[in-house]
Structure 1
Amino acid sequence: MATGFCGNCSRLLKEFTAHFRNVYREIEQQIREVFRELSQCTCFRTTPERIFLRRMTQEFPSLHLLYEDETQLLDQESLRGLNSLASSENTDLQMTAAMYYLHLSHHLKSPLPDAFMEPVMALLLSTDLNVQKTISLSLVNLLVKNNVCKELVIEMGMLVPILELFQSGDATGQCHSCACVTMLASSESNREAITTDGIIPLLALAKSYDPQVQQSATWALLHLTQSESSIRILCQAGAIPVLVLLLQSSDSEVQFYSCTALCNIAAVQEHHPKLLSIGGHFLLKSLLTLMSSPVQKNSNQACRCLETLSKNVLIQEQLMDLDCVLPLKALLKTSSPESAITLLSALSARPPNNDILVSEGLLDEIGQLLHHHRCSSVIITHSGKIITDLCSSCEGQQAVMESLCLSGLLSALQSSTLSDETLLHVTTHLHHLMTWDPLKSTLSVTITSDQVSRLVKLLGQTEYPQLSYNSAAIISKLEMTGKMAQLLRPHYITMLEYLLVFLKSKDVNFQQLGIVTILNLKKDEDFSSLLANSKLELQLWMVHVQTEETRRLLQKIEPLSPSSVNL
């Protein structure tokens, strides 16, 4: 079978495999010799340790097959041996037990029996740093794989020695203990215990000069921002200035963790004053800088954080003063523009921002974006909203007509992958845009035959009445030029059926829209000819009779004028 590798690559891979096997055999032999010597020493005349070490010596060559027979290594004999080793004052014996747990943590598939957690606690309390590092790494692995109950770890008091490892000064030990805290914090019931004693030392580690320690501490802090109560304690402990400074870290993971933590904090509005209390708009400037990061997830996360903050009017004003539009436009050209378009949508919702957004050429970028992302619901929905918002001024309407915005929205109608909800947004925006005469004329000229066919099809969308209503509303406003009549004529018979449903509706709004649409289509003689003596014309007459009867009855009642009714 062909491998797909060239001769040179195949040779290198074979050499690497052979070298790896040799190294593995050497390590295996060394470990076996250590266990053999330990088992023969007179220190192990007590039964549990001697039996346990003899088994370790005999079975170590096949420990990598642990997953095939876990019961033998989790029996009562093994438990007694681990308890004896862990409680010994000999650090070498403690390390033996810690190594056993480390191997277990890599290969165990079933839950670790609760009784096997007692030796773990003893090993965490060891006076030997290497033992503590090894057992804490084992605990991380077991927590990651859900082999142990997170709540049990807290109940057994393991959090205290884990947090004490923060003070060890050893980067590896600090990273392991931070990882333990992170995994424990994923359980909501554990966060209170962690926030009570762990926040201050975590914040201290987050300022570490060791990048790995800083990353681990920031990761743990992020997990503590998953509930409002722990966020409140974090803020009271001074976490915000630390997290803001970490946005400028040289480590991209630290940037991401701190930015995500700040985004979670920003979601709780009561903390906005503290977020803004750092002088010189430091937070906003740092997030805007991070938006230009070459690491895509960091730039997107900075955008999300700013979008969360932008619900505050004061922050919106500050963002506009800091020229946020330019970096946002740059993000629209990346492969993941969703976060940028969401933030711009929030900014466009505030009228004072619109003149700046128009003058910065945002609508040109939106038009391009719509044509490149025709199947993205997020982009289409927010783009339509931005276009509608910016059309509130004459300059905005002109910019829309000069861009690809209208053709982009129309092209979205043709997507077969968009949900009805997204299509509802598209048709709502198109209908709204047609309330301005210049845009109505441009849309009527821009629309294609396929797009007209799609509107007619949506007109019959009885399962989603509002989508049907929007489609009819657009058709009712199309300028019936010769070209437009030519595009609509193939659909007249179908439209007669759909409009008949409108007129028979109990909803007066649908009836009125049906009449308005018919009135527009009657500007073409071909439609008028089809309408004559049709079921639709008969229904029109019935609606007319009903309306006249209603008007006559109302005249008899002589209802009060709206102004005289006490609402």
Structure 2
Amino acid sequence: MGQLCAKCAQLLCDFLLSMKTCSLGLVHDIRECLAQIQICPCLKRKSFEARQLYKPVVQPQEEEIAQEFLQHMERGFEMSPLGKDSLEALRTLAFSENPGFQKSAALYYLHISQHLNIQLPPEHLETYYALLKSNDLEVQQISSLSLVNFLLEGNVTKEHIIQMDLLEPVLELLESDDATVQCNSCACIMTLAVSDVNQEAIGAAGGVVPLLALSKSNDLRVQQNAVGAIFNLTQSEWIRQLLFRQGTLPVLILLLESPDSEVQYYSCAALSNMATNSQHHEAMLQIGDRFLLRTLLSLLASSEDKVSNQACVCLRNLATSERVQTSIVALPILPHLLPLLASNNPKIQQNAIILLRMLSQHPANQNALICDEVLQALGTLLLTWKTEPVIIGHAACFIKNLSLSQGIQRVVESPCVKGLLQAVHSADLLEEEPLLCVTSCLTELVKHEGAAARMLELMDEPLIDSLVRLAGQVEQTEPSFQAAFMIRHIIQHKEAVSLLKSHMNKVQQYLMKYLIHQENRFQQLGIATLCILQKDPEFSSAFSHSQLKKYLDQVCQQTEEMQELLSIAFKHMDT
């Protein structure tokens, strides 16, 4: 036989020594010491009930270490709590057959878990393996709680938990009959599951099924942590597929009706993640008569912001098809969304607007969604959040969709127009995508009779200046073209021409850019605008002495030459 390593030799020695017993006096001392520690306020938890210890088998080495460890605790942990001596003592106590010794090690970790402000060295996790595997219920309770504390405070890295094989004993504790152990082990899994790598490790190790079982627990703490763990796991697409196959959907949907807001939130958030995959939609919606949609609708009215917000996100993720969009609008949804638009929470407002915009994509829904209350709320939001990209962009897209409906006049008369024009005034502060949504919406509105006049009523010098500057920024192709398109329509009114006169040089500059632009639509828009402005004497005079006139003369001459050449070419073709 080869020579044993130090660890195996120690294990064999401990086994041989475990045949000896210790004195009852030592056991009594340990029990008294533990009783005092249990009632100490620093533990921040209810005292464990003292119970009679059985007569243990204690090794002489353990007896000596226990004595030193008790003295260590009596000195108020003045020594280094994580020193080498402490680690060796904790290892011996944790791997002992004596539950009292194991409990003293577990309590020690619980104590330092509430005071430690540094990382717990990874070697201490070896000790945890023995504590979590203990057959003693109190040891399981205490050690699992301290591990949760370490994880929550960041004293232990989640990767080390997996590397030190602690996932296995934690998952085993999920199947405990004790609610405290279940609660703590679920909390461990919930914390570990924030990591992408850990999510797959938990799924591969079979952690999904016990979590599903505990999500239906009668103990609220257990249920909260179990559903929270499932929510974190649903951030992985692979786990979502696994959960789908394990029949998670009906469980999560029923949990939406829980009276507890935490359970509602976690189950709703998990369903939101599941709904990011449209392949799951049919299974999610076929449970009951639109049961999921109706339940989510009721959660929009939750007094808890995070619940109502998550319900809105879930509806948004589900509303990717015309059929679902129509079903949501038919419930009806507007009375539930109006309070969210008026919320003090920007996230809720954003998600409510995103959902509205998605629902308005289907033409059949547009007339049902247009009402004065919604338009008033959107106008207020646009004027309040002048540069917030999500609110500005999605609100503009929603209004544009409504402008295609029969209620276009209500849109024109609403404060939304003022809000959109204000966004143009802040164009330099907006990202290109939301700015494009705003200019695209205004371009659609200005085509309608009365809309241009309405816009002109709201315009002033600074706004006209913003519009002209935007028209000249041809590198932003679409917003630039749409700004110029708006100018082309509003200058049908003399008031707009008068406002433009103070920006005559800028107007000539952007028109020149349009005339030499490679795209025909820019050239045509530039010429059409020029023709209208030429009717004004001041603009006509300015144009006649500008580079524009020279360029147009060149174009005319080229055109005449081109016509002559074409005429000659056609004659030759005829012959």
Q: TM over 0.5: same fold?
A: yes
Take 2:567 and 2:102, find their aligned partners in 1: how far apart are those partners?
Answer: 99
Q: Unpaired segments of 5 or more residues in structure 1?
A: 1-22, 35-40, 64-71, 559-567
Residue 286 of structure 2 corresponds to 277
Matched, 1:225 2:234: yes
Call closer, same or farther: CA 1:236–1:472 in 2, change over 3 Å.
Answer: same
Q: Which position in structure 2 is the counterpart of 1:118?
A: 126
TM-superposed deviation, 1:468: 2.7
Given the superposition, is the C-alpha separation of residues 537 and 132 from structure 1 closer, same or farther in structure 2, using an over 3 Å criterion? same
CA change 1:43–1:108 in 2 (3 A) is: same
Residue 176 of structure 1 is matched in structure 2 by: 184
Write the mapping of 1:115-264 to structure 2, written as runs, cut at 5 A. Answer: 115-196=123-204, 197-264=206-273
Where 2:258 maps in the other structure, the secondary structure is coil
> Aligned partners of 1:555 and 1:409: how far apart in 2?
50
TM-superposition CA deviations, 1:292-325 (whole Å, max 9, x none): 1121221111111101100032211211221112
In the TM superposition, what are the counterparts of 1:116-515 in structure 2 within 5 Å? 116-196=124-204, 197-335=206-344, 336=346, 337-358=349-370, 362-393=374-405, 395-415=406-426, 417-461=429-473, 463-515=475-527
Moved more, 278-287 or 73-82: 73-82
Partner Cα separation in structure 1 for residue 248 and residue 546 of structure 2: 74
Going from structure 1 to structure 2, the CA distance change for 1:234 and 1:119 (only over 3 Å counts) comes to: same
Kindly state the Cα deviation for residue 155 of structure 1 after the two structures are TM-superposed: 4.8
| Contact 1:225 1:264 (C-alpha < 8 Å) held by counterparts | yes
The alpha carbon displacement at 1:276 in A equals: 1.1
User: 1:299, 1:440 → 2: CA distance?
Assistant: 39
In structure 2, relative to structure 1, the CA distance for the partners of 1:472 and 1:359 (3 Å cut) is closer
DSSP-derived class of the 2:545 partner: coil
Q: Which amino acid aligns with 2:334?
A: V
Work out whether residues 173 and 182 of structure 2, in 8 Å CA contact, stay in contact via their aligned partners in 1.
yes
Cα displacement (A) at 1:28? 7.7
**Superposition CA RMSD, Å:** 2.9
Cα distance between partner residues in 1 of 2:364 and 2:333 = 15
Instruction: Spell out, residue by residue over 1:159-187, the C-alpha distance to the aligned partner (whole angstroms, 9 max, x if none).
Output: 33323323334333222100111122223
Match of 2:11 in 1: none
The match for 2:54 is none
Q: What is the CA distance between 1:47 and its match in structure 2?
A: 4.5
Which amino acid in the other structure matches residue 347 of structure 1? Answer: L
User: In the alignment, is the contact (CA less than 8 A) between 1:477 and 1:520 conserved in 2?
Assistant: no
Task: State the alpha-carbon separation in 2 of the partners of residues 278 and 192 from structure 1.
Answer: 28
In 2: Cα distance, 1:48 partner to 1:454 partner: 80
- Structure 2: gaps spanning 5 or more residues: 1-36, 51-57, 571-575
Distance 2:445 2:475 in 1: 25
Provide the secondary structure at the position in 1 that maps to 2:75. Answer: helix
Partner AA of 1:377 in structure 2: P
Measured in 2, the distance between the counterparts of 1:425 and 1:194 equals 43
Bigger drift between 217-226 and 193-202 goes to 193-202
Matches of 1:97 and 1:355 in 2, distance apart?
A: 69
Letter in 1 for 2:462: D
**Counterpart residue identity of residue 195, structure 1:** G
> 1:77 maps to which residue?
85
- Give me the whole-angstrom Cα distance separating, in 2, the residues matched to 1:74 and 1:551: 94
Change (3 A) 1:145 1:543: farther
User: Equivalent residues in 2 for 1:47-126 (5 A)?
Assistant: 47-60=64-77, 62=78, 72-126=80-134
User: 1:466 offset after TM fit, Å?
Assistant: 3.6
CA deviations on 1:511-561 (whole Å, 9 max, x unpaired) are 332222212222322111111121121122223334444555556666xxx
Instruction: Work out whether residues 358 and 396 of structure 1, in 8 Å CA contact, stay in contact via their aligned partners in 2.
Output: yes
Q: Structure 1-normalised TM-score?
A: 0.84
Note the C-alpha offset of 1:115: 2.4
The farther-off stretch of 405-414 and 222-231 is 405-414
Check conservation: 1:444, 1:479, Cα contact below 8 A: no
Aligned to 1:527: 539
1:358-405 Cα shifts (integer Å, max 9, x gaps): 257533433343233333222221121112111223x22211123222
- CA distance in 2 between partners of 1:551 and 1:251 (Å): 80
Paired residues, number: 517
Superposed displacement of residue 418, structure 1: 2.7
Question: Contact conserved, 2:65 with 2:89, CA < 8 A, in 1?
Answer: yes
